[in-house]
């Protein structure tokens, strides 16, 4: 069984407005208004003066500053990212991060196959790889350094942000009860799919994500009514309204406060939101909650956790 010990995040203080981001992408003002008024976006974080290494370093170092964290026990350092190329050929951001953090026993590698769902796929991987006395540090983050990375057409605008979590096999505050990933390969073209395929994806999106969440809950033997929170990715409000209706679940149980604050920060979203809820003491001992996200391609993913409580 896997436990999540801590989550931390960093979003650059600099940001652009939806109008500024849309103008830079050549989108007309009417489209900008849709992203703002309907989709709920407001601020788009930009790491204009930071490298990807510097962005990832912030939450990772904050994890390592927690009393009791032992660097020597960190067996894996995993960077979950969406952009397939994030450094010049021959360079490795995650290896540089390992050296910067001084993790002598960590094997460092990246995971990107499932795009924004790579982080939840990594939980499955670590459930198999980790030994009882080992831990793993997962960092999630991208910089939207090209126009292609800055927008998902008719869906969201992308921001720069990073999150980090520490997991292991020994009991901790958050217990992973079950995961479920569902891949629909017919949508593998992602943002490059044709209009008919995009329309088909839009039609199945909400019911498929709802089904993925319910399947994860079935695996965990947890009823939907017992869920305290759904911790989502921040694509837009209307998509989560449709998922809430499909489940069904009250909108108040889906944490959407960060959509206007941070927009969609790739795969870091769910752990940014997790860290915000955790620091605000929104988890009570015994609470069940679901992390839910979708990676373009298309991979629907959900993970059921139970908050056990901090050690006394």
Instruction: Give the residue among 2, 1, 3, 4 at the shortest CA–CA distance from 165.
Output: 4
Same domain, 162 and 178: no
Pairing of strands 151-152, 43-45: unpaired
Please report the pLDDT score of residue 311 as a whole number.
Answer: 56
| Domain shared by 163 and 293, yes or no | no
The pLDDT of 9-15, averaged and rounded, is 97
Assign 65 to helix, strand or coil.
coil
| Alpha-carbon span 58 to 141, nearest angstrom | 11
The residue out of 139, 168, 197 marking a domain boundary is 168
Of the three residues 168, 200, 226, the one that is the final residue of a domain is 168
The Cα 264–Cα 236 span in angstroms is: 8
- For 191-238, what is each residue's pLDDT tens digit? 999 999 999 999 999 999 999 999 999 999 999 999 999 999 999 999
Q: 256 lies in a domain?
A: yes
* Same domain, yes or no: 47 and 179: no
Chain CA centroid to CA 99, Å = 24
| Total residue count of the chain as it appears in this document | 312
Specify whether 162 is located in the same domain as 180: no
pLDDT category at 90 given cuts 50, 70, 90 is confident
Is residue 101 included in any domain, yes or no? yes
Number of domains the chain is built from: 2
92-134 confidence digits (pLDDT tens):
999 999 999 999 999 999 999 999 999 999 999 999 999 999 9
CB 77 within 8 Å of CB 83: no
Same domain, 230 and 84: no
Domain membership of residue 312 (yes or no) is no
- Residues 104, 207, single domain; the answer is no
On whether both 266 and 185 belong to a single domain, the answer is yes
The domain spanning residue 252 has which CATH number? 3.40.47.10
**What pLDDT score does 199 carry?**
95
Of all helices (H) and strands (E), which one includes residue 289?
Answer: strand 288-295
- Print the domain residue range for 226: 174-307
Kindly state whether residue 258 falls inside one of the protein's structural domains. yes
Q: What span, in angstroms and rounded, lies between the C-alpha atoms of 231 and 303?
A: 10
> Does any domain span residue 153?
yes
Cβ(302)–Cβ(213) under 8 Å?
yes
CA distance 269 to 266: 6
What is the four-CA torsion angle of 248, 251, 252, 253, rounded to 10 degrees? 50
């Amino acid at each position: 069984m896997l436990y999540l010990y801590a989550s931390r995040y960093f979003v650059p203080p600099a940001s652009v407005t939806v109008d500024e981001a849309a103008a830079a992408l050549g989108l007309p003002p009417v489209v900008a208004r849709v992203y703002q008024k309907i989709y709920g976006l407001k601020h788009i974080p930009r790491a204009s003066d930071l490298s990807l290494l510097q962005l990832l370093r912030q939450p990772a170092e904050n994890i390592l500053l927690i009393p009791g964290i032992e660097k020597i026990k960190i067996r894996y350092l995993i960077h979950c990212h969406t952009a397939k190329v994030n450094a010049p050929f021959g360079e490795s951001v995650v290896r540089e991060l390992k050296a910067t953090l001084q993790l002598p026993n960590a094997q460092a590698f990246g995971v990107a196959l499932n795009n924004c769902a790579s982080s939840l796929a990594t939980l499955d991987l670590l459930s198999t790889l980790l030994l009882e006395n080992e831990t793993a540090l997962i960092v999630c983050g991208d910089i939207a350094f090209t126009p292609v990375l800055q927008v998902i057409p008719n869906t969201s605008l992308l921001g720069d942000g990073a999150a980090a979590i520490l997991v292991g096999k020994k009991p901790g505050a958050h217990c992973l009860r079950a995961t479920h990933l569902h891949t629909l390969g017919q949508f593998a073209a992602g943002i490059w799919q044709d209009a008919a395929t995009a329309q088909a994806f839009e039609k199945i999106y909400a019911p498929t994500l709802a089904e993925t969440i319910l399947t994860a809950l079935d695996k965990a033997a947890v009823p939907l009514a017992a869920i305290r929170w759904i911790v989502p990715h921040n694509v837009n409000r209307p998509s989560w309204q449709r998922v809430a209706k499909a489940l069904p679940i009250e909108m108040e149980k889906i944490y959407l406060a960060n959509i206007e604050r941070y927009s969609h920060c790739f795969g870091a979203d769910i752990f940014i939101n997790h860290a915000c809820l955790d620091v605000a003491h929104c988890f009570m001992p015994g609470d069940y909650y679901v992390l839910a996200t979708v990676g373009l391609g298309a991979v629907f993913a959900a993970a059921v956790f139970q908050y056990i409580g901090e050690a006394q």
